[in-house]
Amino acid sequence: MGNILKPAWRFSQHGNLWSIYNAGKNFITGETREEKKKLPLFFTVNAKTGEVILRDYQLNEENALISSIASSDKYLFLHRLINPELPIHRGIIAVDIHSGEIIWKNEEYEYMFHTNEAVYTKITKFENFEYQKLDINSGNLIKNYSENDTATLFELRRQLIEENYENEKDFPVYNIEYSSEDAKDIFNREINIDTGNYQIEFIEKDKLLIFTYHKALADNCYQVFICIYNLSDKKRLFKETIYKQAPLVFPDNFFIMDNFLYFIKEKKEIVAINLNL
């Protein structure tokens, strides 16, 4: 059966995908890592057209000790790893996602989260933490939080987390017990879920069912597929192998943003499909 839906664009660069972020709804940014050199290479691509803004972009910094941590609609935020083998980081570098220019740096603070106007940070002390608010465009200090004022900071973070939960429908669900009866029927049409040899992640959105499944192979590896079905008539609109031989189960291979589906193939390629039928 041929695919009715077709990819709008595909993007790849040197190395394996290390991180990927939506920079607002118009751009996707992130980094890849070369296996031998371990150097981060940064990228930005137009989320709708696939136009490449940055590809294989390398900062003139101590690259092996730098990694991305988050993105806004303007900046990719990086941090320095104190030890490449441990997830301990310090410092913030704000990089323009369009030019690759370093807009500001701070060597002292640790990134926590950001809003449209500010970046919230901390310093780890021996027995406590100190918290700060920085201007997102300059990195200038706006506020130091006193011990009595941290409740405001954590309430803001809680509100942002709740807002993100509202968008969870655009990210995969792992338990098929939460799927509709039509979705369960499609799962059984595509694969025999009763065998228990498959792991499924899915999104039900509007009239579409998007899901990936891992098929266990004889050599303890997995073959991974992504499918798109129309829930109304249960017709398959798209199917592609995204891993021919995965050594383990790779979760979170896809997401939806502004009615575009994005998925990762072989840890090297980002593929976009316009879901507007």
pLDDT tens-place string over residues 147-182: 778 888 888 888 887 777 656 568 888 888 889 999
Which has the higher per-residue pLDDT, 60 or 189? 189
Domain boundaries, the chain: 1-107, 109-166, 170-274
Q: What's the rounded mean pLDDT across residues 214-243? A: 90
CATH architecture, domain 1-107: Beta Barrel (2.40)
- Contact between 20 and 40 under an 8 Å Cβ cutoff? The reply is no
Query: Do the beta carbons of residue 110 and residue 79 sit within 8 Å?
Result: yes
Report pLDDT for 56.
Answer: 96
pLDDT above 70 coverage of the chain, percent: 91
**Rounded Cα–Cα distance for residues 7 and 254 (Å):** 14
Span of 39-53, 190-204, 215-229 with lowest mean pLDDT:
190-204
What sign for the dihedral angle of Cα 34, 109, 139, 26? positive
